[in-house]
Structure 1
Amino acid sequence: MTKLLRYFFKSSSFYWLFGLVLSLLFHSIPVTANDRSIGNSLQVPDAGLGNQANQPHQHYRPLIIPSTEFRRLASRGGTNGRSRAGTRGDCPAVNGSPELTAIVPLAQGSLDNAVVETAIGTTTAAYPTFWFYLPYSTDEIHSVQFVVNDEQDMPLFAPVTVPLNSSFPGLVSIQLPSSSPPLEVGKYYRWYVMLDCSPQGGNDAFVDAFVQRVALAPGIAVQLETVSPTERINLLLDNGSWHEAVSELYALQMQSPDDVSIRAAWSSMLELGGITSQSSNK
């Protein structure tokens, strides 16, 4: 049976069906980097509540894309959230750690009677933050560039250079630059991270994924201002804000590095986005 996907949401052209609610798993969610299409529940426990927070929630909805819409996306070329095979160029081989990875879930759709997966996340922000895993140190790469294309595969802005620092390899975040027009509700965009590992220039490796901006459900904006940080993240996941949930959970686990439950939730979110817990320490 086809595995459930990430989370349901609405687009401007199609109504998305809300389906199966999956139960909360606290200390681990058995998802690996090679099995991202499993529709596990993800809930961030409220700090200090212990088992009282372990109650049914709807915090992680699998994403299913209607075949007509999926065909339109596939015509632009599928994405898998990973470096393209055969495009490594001068970049060194990655052994024992994830490849260049876009931190987004996988979604499934039907194409020519076959089930196809693609990497796609949703956001409610006009200028969202994008996350990816960079497997190289600053000594191994010359530059990292980021760009977002519209539905006609035209860039929204000139590629921007991602600052290099000593924390690499590790997770990297970059916000849609102010030079870009805002993302429009209901539209799909494709974002790229491109690596140049040679001083001579040229894109040696890249990763890409889709993002769709969705409308925030009525009344949710008010709730987001009144709930605890952990419940805020759960509300974001409930309402199609994958990108925002990643950013806020990252900030929360940085603020509470000794909180075992928060660390477990962060590791689980990374695994859903394609990074195993063994490699998420960075």
Structure 2
Amino acid sequence: MSAKKQPFFKSPLLGIALIISSSIIPISITPVMAGVTFKPPGAQAPQRSSGGGSRNDNICGFGTKVSNSASVTPLMPNSNIGFTVADRPTIFVYLPASKAQKALFTLQDDGSKTYYQTALTLPEKPGVMEVKLPTSVPALKTGKNYKWSLVMICTEELDTDSPWVGGWIRRVEADRSLTSKNQKPISLELISKLAETGIWYDSLSILAELRRSQPNNQALTNAWQDLLKSVNLNVIANEPLVN
């Protein structure tokens, strides 16, 4: 990271975001006039790892469209790398209706060393699933890249032909000097500023948490849709959160 960008990531805004990700401060929804739009910080993934379908299109039973998208889709920017100020960010993946009941989630460092791996039980209904890293997982290191992948288990055993998706995480440094007197309630304006400064994972996870707590809040629904549409995920922007 160049010297010019370091003050950008040490702004008080990111310190606030770090506190938000720990659910320490109160929630206050203040709608903003403009939509929530993600602006990529210019970083590119070390290698492309967006995943793909199986050579056997029917291995997971994706043939029947129940939702707008029939493909497993990572909620990621076009660059396939997202920034976070959290030590254990939350990852989101859209899952269509399928025969799969489980998936294998893997997190690796940039040297391909396995950082964390677990089998996940998938939701019964199609929609956007979140993957939270447990506290037993070592905190991600600032300035380092990490690669995650989700492989659908569509047969009795993990098949090399199974569909999978993946993406990259880079933890960036945040200003931790904020005290309680400087803490502010969460607002859509704050989330919008996070998205505008390229902090993808935290913008998404904060919005998801707020949507679950206030499912009938149209401002939150609109903000979620705006955020996904800003990274060309229009086709799944209206899909529900399912876990």
Deviation of the 1:16 alpha carbon:
4.0
Other-structure match for 2:73: 101
Count residues with an aligned counterpart. 217
Q: Structure 1's 224 and 216: CA in aligned 2 closer, same or farther, altered over 3 A?
A: farther
Query: Deviation at 1:91?
Result: 1.6
CA distance in 2, matches of 1:172, 1:105: 17
1:142-193 CA-partner distances (Å, limit 9, x unpaired) = 4211111111111112x21112332x21111111233432111111111000
Is the counterpart of residue 191 in structure 1 residue 148 in structure 2?
Answer: yes
**Distance (whole Å) between structure 1 residues aligned to residue 198 and residue 236 of structure 2:** 27
2:60 is aligned, of 73, 86, 91, to 91
Taking structure 1 as the reference length, the TM-score comes to 0.64
Q: Of residues 68, 78, 82 in structure 2, which corresponds to 1:121?
A: 82
> Is this contact kept in 1: 2:103–2:152, CA < 8 A?
yes
- % same residue: 21
Alpha carbons of structure 1 residues 221 and 102: separation in structure 2 relative to 1, 3 Å:
farther
Q: Within 2, Cα distance between the matches of 1:260 and 1:58?
A: 13
- State the Cα RMSD in Å: 3.4
State yes or no: 1:64 paired with 2:36. Answer: no
Deviates more, 1:90-99 or 1:271-280: 271-280
TM-score by length of 2: 0.73
What secondary structure does 2:114 align onto? coil
SS in 2 for 1:194: strand
Quick one: which of 67, 73, 76 aligns to 2:46?
A: 73
TM-aligned CA deviation for residue 258 of structure 1:
3.1
The higher-RCO structure (CA 8 Å, 6+ apart) is 2
Measure how far apart 1:252 and its partner are. 1.8
5+ long unaligned stretches in structure 1: 1-10, 20-45, 108-118
Counterpart pick for 1:54 among 19, 23, 33 = 33
Question: Could you say which residue in structure 1 is the equivalent of 2:110?
Answer: 151
- C-alpha distance 179-260 of structure 1, shift in aligned 2 (>3 A): closer
C-alpha separation between the residues in 2 aligned to 1:85 and 1:223?
53
Distance in 2 (CA, whole Å) between partners of 1:251 and 1:264 is 14
- Residue 265 of structure 1 deviates from its aligned partner by 1.0
